[in-house]
Amino acid sequence: MIIYTDHSALKHLLGKADSKPRLIRWVLLLQEFAREIRDKKGTENVVADHLSRLATPLRKEGGCELPIDDSFPGEHLFALAVSSAPWFADLVNYLACGIIPSDMNSHQRKRFFSQAKSYFWEEPCLYKACGDGLIRLCVPEEEITSIISHCHDKPSGGHASGDKTAAKILQAGFYWPTLFKDVHAYVRACDRCQRTGGWSRRNEMPLNYVLDVEIFDVWGVDFMGPFSIL
């Protein structure tokens, strides 16, 4: 990194023996970078010279200027959100590179090889040959909720039951090991489904049977036209 500046004293900052604590912190911060400081006149370095002279309003609090903030945000420790590997990471490593997980015992390894026979890798996707003869796409965890929502909440789903929603997902060509469990949990947590509830025979209107029948009375039956009883 080459720094062009008209501040020639900056070159002698690193070699200064007696410095104030603030200058020492600046030196420690600069030592983290591979830099080369070159002197350049402000008239030749027009862009940087113009930016250094921009007017900035002074921050004031109660009529007094605030003290200089010596904190360095780059020295703070921040947390990074790291997404975990998908459930089929071991299968992909084995099918693509032949890497076998090292933390498996003999029983787990035997079961792993038995499961791997149903999967095949076609970059960048993993597919499984299911028991019904169809080949389905393996879905990672972060896409499961959106797929269930599309097959259950959207107009094409119609807030169907858990089994019907799972059948739609399988018909669409998606697969993950806990498909039925996740779908039923999603349907149970659906607010509209809980408000509507399921219809059973006890929710139907009671049937009133015709007890008194007279000759030549006309009465109707569903899906049939009226007729006379002689």
Percent of the chain's residues with pLDDT above 90: 22
Asked if 208 and 223 count as a contact pair (C-beta separation under 8 A), the reply is: no
- 146 and 101 share a domain? no
- 122 and 168 share a domain? no
Percent of the chain's residues with pLDDT above 70: 65
Total domains, the chain? 3
User: Angle at the Cα of 143 (from 90 to 188), degrees rounded to 5?
Assistant: 110
pLDDT above 90 for 174? yes
pLDDT, average across residues 173-182: 93
Residue 165 φ then ψ, to 5°: -65, -40
Residue 57 lies inside a defined structural domain of this protein: no
Residue 79 lies inside a defined structural domain of this protein: no
The range of the structural domain enclosing residue 11 comes to: 1-52
Residue 44 lies inside a defined structural domain of this protein: yes
Return the residue matching tokens 């009375």. 217
Residue 178 lies inside a defined structural domain of this protein: yes
Least confident of 20-34, 49-63, 122-136, 155-169: 49-63
The count of C-alpha atoms lying within 13 angstroms of the C-alpha of 44, restricted to the half-sphere facing its C-beta, is 7
pLDDT above 50 for 229? no
Residue 188 lies inside a defined structural domain of this protein: yes
- 174 and 229 share a domain? yes
- 225 and 159 share a domain? yes
Mean pLDDT for the chain overall: 77
- 121 and 163 share a domain? no
pLDDT above 80 for 11? no
- 127 and 155 share a domain? no
* Model pLDDT for residues 77-135, shown as the tens digit of each residue: 566 566 678 889 899 989 988 888 888 888 999 999 999 999 999 888 999 999 888 99
Read off the pLDDT band of 179 (50, 70, 90).
Answer: very high
pLDDT above 50 for 52? yes
Residue 82 φ then ψ, to 5°: -110, 120
Q: Which residue, among 37, 160, 138, 150, has the nearest Cα to 92 in the 3D structure?
A: 138
For residues 190 and 198, give the distance between their C-alpha atoms in angstroms, rounded to a whole number. 13
- 134 and 187 share a domain? no
pLDDT above 80 for 222? no
Residue 171 lies inside a defined structural domain of this protein: yes
Least confident of 73-77, 124-128, 165-169: 73-77
Residue 39 lies inside a defined structural domain of this protein: yes
Residue 169 lies inside a defined structural domain of this protein: yes
* Model pLDDT for residues 128-160, shown as the tens digit of each residue: 999 888 999 999 998 999 999 999 888 777 888
Give the CA distances from residue 189 to residues 104, 143, 153, in Å, rounded to whole numbers and listed in that order: 36, 18, 12
pLDDT above 70 for 195? yes
